């Protein structure tokens, strides 16, 4: 089978032929149809992600496909079941073996492309906003980097949870994507003052920050008393300049959040969150925004879209046509 393989951190990943894997106890063999890409995949190619495997390994954290076999004495989705799996790696391949407990059945109306664009982005936003920040109906949610892979899902999830959503992104095209996702107010970070615009709209109760740097500082200064700030990532490359004395005076809570970490120490809320999100998809409440789909043979180009920040929403690599 073909897979997009990292052999060492000094050379680019390459499309390679390797033997088809055999599922061990507790594993499911999946015929992969599509796989979503994440910024973490880029970090893994250089060995800079906090959970980078030891080479050689295949990239791809979000595969979706069809279970073809289960390992010995394994309970899991039966062969023939359409599933999505959170694997951490191995999704950019024609087939893969994954923990059967992490293979969740898809709603009947969910395509493989949507499934592959679903887990990390929606899971991150839902757990962050619901489980960690306890976002309430009627509160004001500010999303920094709102047109990105996770930011756009935060806009959608925030609206489903009943919040008023302020989306911050660069340029009219990206802001239009945010508007279509349900944002109530739009701030162009290229031309507008984030702090002043948020304060003019009544201030922030919850800030969802995937950017860091100057945008964090501006949103922090626009927070209402008792606000919660979610640290999701630092796409700007700059760590936030946190002022603890200001946190104290305004009773602001700073929350670090890493979705994948829950798999190691408390997987139950993560799985419950994914089940809720899949149910929302089945009810038509949320829909992934996929800006690009490319075949496995062009996986390097797909990764470059993330590297060059040319995508909105998700980039998905296709192994086989949808069914």
Q: Residue 124: is it exposed, middle or buried by C-beta count within 10 angstroms (0-12/13-18/19+)?
A: buried
How many CB atoms lie under 10 A from the CB of residue 279?
12
Q: Residue 201: is it exposed, middle or buried by C-beta count within 10 angstroms (0-12/13-18/19+)?
A: middle
pLDDT of residue 113: 96
pLDDT of residue 320: 65
pLDDT of residue 261: 87
307 membership: H or E segment, kind and range: helix 299-307
Spatial separation of the C-alpha atoms in residues 100 and 84, rounded to whole Å: 10
Q: Residue 130: is it exposed, middle or buried by C-beta count within 10 angstroms (0-12/13-18/19+)?
A: middle
Q: Which pTM does this prediction carry?
A: 0.84
Spatial separation of the C-alpha atoms in residues 109 and 162, rounded to whole Å: 25
Among 59, 117, 52, which residue's Cα sits nearest to residue 93?
59
Query: What φ, ψ does residue 173 adopt, rounded to 5°?
Result: -65, -45
Q: Dump pLDDT digits (tens) for 105-115.
A: 999 999 999 99
The pair of structure tokens assigned to 223 is 């927070």
DSSP 93: B
Q: Which CATH architecture has domain 121-260?
A: 3-Layer(aba) Sandwich (3.40)
Residue extents of the structural domains in the chain: 2-118+288-318, 121-260
Domain 2-118+288-318 matches domain 121-260 at the CATH topology level? no
Spatial separation of the C-alpha atoms in residues 264 and 105, rounded to whole Å: 22
Contacts 24+ apart (CB under 8 A), 287-292: 287/114, 287/156, 288/114, 288/117, 288/118, 288/121, 288/122, 288/153, 288/313, 288/314, 289/117, 289/152, 289/177, 289/181, 289/313, 289/314, 290/113, 290/114, 290/117, 290/314, 290/315, 290/316, 291/315, 292/316
Query: What φ, ψ does residue 128 adopt, rounded to 5°?
Result: -65, -50
Four-way CATH pick for 2-118+288-318: 1.10.287.990, 3.90.180.10, 3.40.50.300, 3.90.1170.50? 3.90.180.10
pLDDT of residue 264: 82
pLDDT of residue 169: 97
- Which residues in the chain land under pLDDT 70? 320-323
């Amino acid at each position: 089978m073909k897979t997009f393989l990292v052999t060492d951190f000094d050379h680019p990943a390459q499309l390679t032929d390797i033997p088809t894997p055999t599922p061990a106890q507790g594993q499911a063999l999946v015929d992969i149809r599509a796989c979503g890409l994440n910024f973490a995949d880029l970090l893994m190619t250089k060995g800079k992600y906090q959970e980078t495997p030891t080479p050689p390994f295949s990239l791809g954290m979000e595969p979706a496909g069809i279970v073809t076999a289960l390992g010995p004495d394994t309970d899991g989705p039966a062969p023939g079941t359409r599933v999505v799996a959170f694997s951490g790696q191995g999704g950019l391949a024609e087939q893969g073996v994954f923990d059967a407990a992490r293979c969740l059945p898809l709603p009947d109306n969910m395509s493989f492309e949507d499934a592959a664009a679903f887990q990390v982005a929606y899971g991150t936003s839902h757990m962050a906003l619901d489980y960690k920040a306890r976002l309430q109906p009627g509160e004001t949610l500010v999303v920094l980097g709102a047109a990105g892979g996770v930011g756009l899902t935060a806009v959608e999830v925030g609206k489903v949870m009943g919040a008023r959503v302020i989306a911050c992104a660069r340029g009219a095209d990206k802001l239009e994507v945010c508007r279509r996702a349900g944002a109530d107010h739009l701030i162009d970070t290229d031309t507008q003052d984030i702090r002043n615009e948020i304060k003019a709209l009544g201030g922030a109760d919850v800030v969802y920050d995937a950017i860091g740097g100057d945008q964090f500082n501006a949103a922090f200064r626009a927070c209402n008393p008792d606000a919660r700030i979610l640290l999701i990532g630092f796409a700007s490359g700059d760590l936030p300049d946190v002022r603890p004395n200001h946190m104290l005076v305004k009773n602001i809570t700073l929350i670090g959040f890493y979705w994948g970490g829950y798999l190691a120490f408390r997987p139950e809320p993560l799985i419950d969150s994914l089940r809720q999100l899949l149910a929302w998809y089945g009810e038509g409440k949320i829909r992934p925004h996929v800006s690009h789909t490319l075949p496995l043979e062009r996986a390097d180009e797909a990764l470059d879209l993330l590297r060059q920040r040319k995508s909105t929403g998700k980039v998905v690599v296709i192994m086989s046509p949808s069914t």
